[in-house]
Amino acid sequence: MNKLLIYQSDFGLVDGAVSAMEGVALKVDLDLTIRHLTHEITPYNIFEASYRLYQTVVYWPSETVFVSVVDPGVGTKRRSVVAKTKDDKYIVTPNNGTLTHLAANIGIVEIREIDKNLYRKETNFSHTFHGRDVYSYTGALLASGKIQYEEVGKKLDLDEILCLPLSEVEVSENLVRGNIDILDVRFGSLWTNITREDFLKLNVKYGEKLEVTIYNGDTLVYQNQIVYGKSFAEVMVGSPIVYINSVFKVGIAINQGSFAKAYNIGVGSAWVVELRKAK
């Protein structure tokens, strides 16, 4: 193992929760390299946790261990697992949908349920903080090489991976219809589920215009023509742009502005985006 241990949660960084997880891990092995994906996942938002893993995991070295704790079901019978991805990363997480995007986009090759005998025993066990006493501890044992993946616990069937529903993209001759998966929060850009490959079927070239229509359920929220560009600065400051984002899907942004705030746009399967080649 490469000793890299990466954390994600919805705990925020305002109290001692993340530090307690780190301490537990470094008590297992002082040589672990601990890094953080984010701890600002919207509380209880499993879809977002799943997406952030998908956005990030691929850029890390093989054998990296990720601990993701967005766990509204802590203390219930939801299973605690370690998944192994096709590109040889390990994800320590409740089996509650957090593996959705990795399963759909990267592939999970094996999944094991964490054996209760592995849980941290040193002090009292918390029924509300499995991030510390189950996930961080197991992640540290695995990343440090103190246990092998096979020793995590019994193998589950791959179809036992709990996956959230993902919306489909529809492609017809002059139309691509998808939805808004998530925001590039800081900059207010919309990240759709439309891949570059599907988008290119519209046969639009850089500098040409698209007709962009956005619905929230049945309600029309936005309709206008937007230029397709490589990067934000190809349009004037304050102007909108359709582009391919850093996960190689269609994004919609305002150069140095926030598209999401400008038009009060949210995320999820109800937020539909239609792209047509403008005439």
Q: Given the complex with its own copies, which of 241 and 272 has the nearer CB atom? A: 241
Q: Given the complex with its own copies, which of 20 and 175 has the nearer CB atom? A: 20
What's the DSSP call for residue 257? Answer: B
Residues contacting residue 122 through CB under 8 Å, at least 6 positions apart: 27
CA 131/CA 157 separation, integer angstroms: 24
According to DSSP, the β-strands at 90-94 and 65-69 are parallel
| Residues within window 113-172 making contact with its own copies, judged by CB under 8 A | 123-124, 126-129, 132
Residues contacting residue 110 through CB under 8 Å, at least 6 positions apart: 83, 84, 149, 155, 158
Q: How far is CA 58 from CA 1, 37, 71, 86, in A?
A: 17, 13, 23, 10
What x-and-dash track marks residues 205-244 binding its own copies by CB under 8 A? -------------------------xxxxx--------xx
CA 25/CA 21 separation, integer angstroms: 6
Grouping H, G, I as helix, E, B as strand and the rest as coil, residue 205 is coil
| Residues within window 72-111 making contact with its own copies, judged by CB under 8 A | 72-76
Phi, psi dihedral angles at 134 (to 5 degrees): -120, -60
Smallest separation, CB 100 to its own copies (Å): 15
Regarding 269 and contact with its own copies (CB under 8 A), the answer is: no
CA 258/CA 249 separation, integer angstroms: 18
Smallest separation, CB 259 to its own copies (Å): 13
Regarding 186 and contact with its own copies (CB under 8 A), the answer is: yes
What x-and-dash track marks residues 4-43 binding its own copies by CB under 8 A? x-x---xxxxxxxxxxx-xxx-xx--x--xxxxxxxx--x
Query: Binding its own copies by CB under 8 A: which of 151, 236, 256, 261?
Result: 256
Contact footprint for its own copies (CB under 8 A): 2-4, 6, 10-20, 22-24, 26-27, 30, 33-40, 43-44, 52-53, 55-56, 58-61, 64, 72-76, 123-124, 126-129, 132, 182, 184-187, 230-234, 243-246, 248, 251, 255-256
